[in-house]
Amino acid sequence: MKKVLIANRGEIACRVARACREAGIASVAVATPPDVEALHAFAADETLSIQSYLDGAELIAAAKKCGADAIHPGYGFLSESHLFADAVAAAGLTWIGPPGAAIRKIGDKMSGKDVAEAAGVPTVPGCSGGDQSDSHLKAEAIKIGFPVLVKASGAGGGKGMRVVEREADLEDAIGACRREAAGGFKDDRLLLEKYLRPVRHVEIQVIADTHGNVLHLGERDCSVQRRHQKVVEESPSPAISPETRAAMGRAAAALMKAAGYVNAGTCEFIVDAAGKYYFLEVNARLQVEHPVTETVTGLDLVRLQLDVAAGRPLPIRQEDVTFRGHAIEVRIYAEDPERDFMPSAGRILEYEEPRGVRIDTGVRPGSAVPPDYDPMLAKLIASGRNRAEAIAAARRALREYAILGVCTNIAYLDAILGHPEFAAGRATTDFLAKHFQAWKPPSPPPPSEVLAAVAASDPTSRAAAGPSSDRDPHSPWRARDAWRNL
């Protein structure tokens, strides 16, 4: 493998480019018209212009044009398309991900559930496959008992899902899920599951090579979710026992082996209050939150992806996988909490990252935040010897993160990490709905206080204080809670 085309954008494209550089592999970025000035377009060794990140034929043509011999799909876009994976292989290029056959087998929720059951992995009671008529689904929902979860088989990212509390709402939910799935994923098949609560959302990271080795690399707790979208991820989970953790790891590895899975992937589970776990689905790609696992294991998952795709065996065995400390990741979005978290497009006027934590980002000062794509700006990953230290580090870093020009969810994330229920490790998937439904960002200080802060920061008033430093309590950057994104 000499040159990799990165079929993605934003922070993950920058992340893959960095891994390629460290591995001595040339990298090629692609950029659509809204992204010509994006950071990822400058992170790789060369860049090609394309019209869409969803046009597989165009991406393959771009790879051939620049002499790339491999394609890394990142996450999102075409990363879980078995058709694209097969097309890349048919074009004589290396696909840095699971083979198309494995994606077909477990890439959608229905077939993944079938593979899990055949492998003896517990699944949520429900109905999948078979008759897709509305009348049959209604009859099955009544058998399962309310509340039920209506899910689109081929959807992802929290799309095509509805919780139905009563029979009267079922017909509308089925119709809405079908439309969302057909429009966004070209697959309107639905499945039903008993909606269990309270539960935690826990996923197991897996990596497999072409030599029959399948490793599980511990769990990530992703229970803090808004509208089925993950907001905070951490490892280890504060709520599962060592015995449950080991059992879930073995179950995930067995499922992936049964599917003929190769490369990085994640098995998602829910865990109930009694500690029983149930398989949800497989994410047949690198996860957004993979840095959490990297932090607690010391492994580089993208480098391992490159090694596996090149045909090399995994350099470690299961008994070599060890864990240290605690890690927490939060996702920084350009969104306006005062407008129901609507995306906030614009241009970043000022951008300053906090120190002492890991930041994976795809922006810099002056970057445009286009309305065309997901508004995630960065991921902040904090760690510590224990959970309390990791939370404290994350909150400190959030308060030191300066982004001006677009609205962000930084204050929201800080409030979540500071909530007593989260601090106690008791957050379940309904945590945000219960405690943050009416949350609003803190009001900006009145102009008089801003003027007072500016006057206090006047260097002439502190001439005798000596040179300032990062620890200077009078620095205006020490009072970022008083700033508001405009």
pLDDT tens, residue by residue, 235-293: 999 999 999 999 999 999 999 999 999 999 999 999 999 999 999 999 999 999 999 99
Convert the chain into a string of H (helix), E (strand) and C (coil): CCEEEECCCHHHHHHHHHHHHHCCCEEEEEECHHHCCCCHHHHCCEEEECCCCCCHHHHHHHHHHHCCCEEECCCCCCCCCHHHHHHHHHCCCEECCCCHHHHHHHCCHHHHHHHHHHCCCCECCEECCCCCCHHHHHHHHHHHCCCEEEEECCCCCCCCEEEECCHHHHHHHHHHHHHHHHHHHCCCCEEEEECCCCEEEEEEEEEECCCCCEEEEEEEEEEEEECCEEEEEEECCCCCCHHHHHHHHHHHHHHHHHCCCCEEEEEEEEEECCCCEEEEEEECCCCCCHHHHHHHHCCCHHHHHHHHHCCCCCCCCHHHCCCCCEEEEEEEECEEHHHCCEECCEECCEEECCCCCEEEECCCCCCEECCCCCCEEEEEEEEECCHHHHHHHHHHHHHHCEEECCCCCHHHHHHHHCCHHHHCCCCCCCHHHHHCCCCCCCCCCCHHHHHHHHHHCCHHHHHHHCCCCCCCCCCHHHHHHHCCCC
Is 116 within a domain?
no
Q: What is the pLDDT of residues 379-436, one digit of tens each?
A: 999 999 999 999 999 999 999 999 999 999 999 999 999 999 999 999 999 999 999 9
The pLDDT of residue 147 is above 50: yes
The pLDDT of residue 185 is above 90: no
Model confidence band, residue 482 (pLDDT cutoffs 50, 70, 90): very low
pLDDT of 454: 53
Is 105 within a domain?
no
**Are 41 and 29 a contacting pair, CB within 8 Å?**
yes
Which entry of 15, 200, 285, 331 is annotated as an active-site residue? 285
Average pLDDT of the chain to the nearest whole number: 92
Is 449 within a domain?
no
Lowest mean pLDDT across 115-119, 232-236, 243-247, 444-448: 444-448
Q: Are 265 and 403 in the same domain?
A: yes
387 catalytically annotated: no
What is the CATH classification number for the domain harbouring 206?
A: 3.30.470.20
Chain-centroid distance, C-alpha 129: 28
pLDDT of 476: 40
The pLDDT of residue 463 is above 80: no
Q: Are 213 and 256 in the same domain?
A: yes
Q: Are 269 and 154 in the same domain?
A: no
Domain range for 182: 125-194
Q: Are 24 and 51 in the same domain?
A: yes
What is the CATH classification number for the domain harbouring 152?
A: 3.30.1490.20
Model confidence band, residue 446 (pLDDT cutoffs 50, 70, 90): low
pLDDT of 283: 95
The pLDDT of residue 363 is above 90: yes
Model confidence band, residue 178 (pLDDT cutoffs 50, 70, 90): very high
Boundary residue ending a domain (96, 115, 138): 96
Provide the domain count of the chain. 4
The pLDDT of residue 96 is above 50: yes
Q: Are 165 and 204 in the same domain?
A: no
Percent of the chain with pLDDT over 70: 91
Q: Are 164 and 294 in the same domain?
A: no
Q: Are 290 and 306 in the same domain?
A: yes
Q: Are 284 and 357 in the same domain?
A: yes
Calculate mean pLDDT across residues 40-61.
98
Model confidence band, residue 81 (pLDDT cutoffs 50, 70, 90): very high
Calculate mean pLDDT across residues 312-321.
98
Q: Which carries the bigger pLDDT value, residue 266 or residue 471? A: 266
The pLDDT of residue 465 is above 60: no
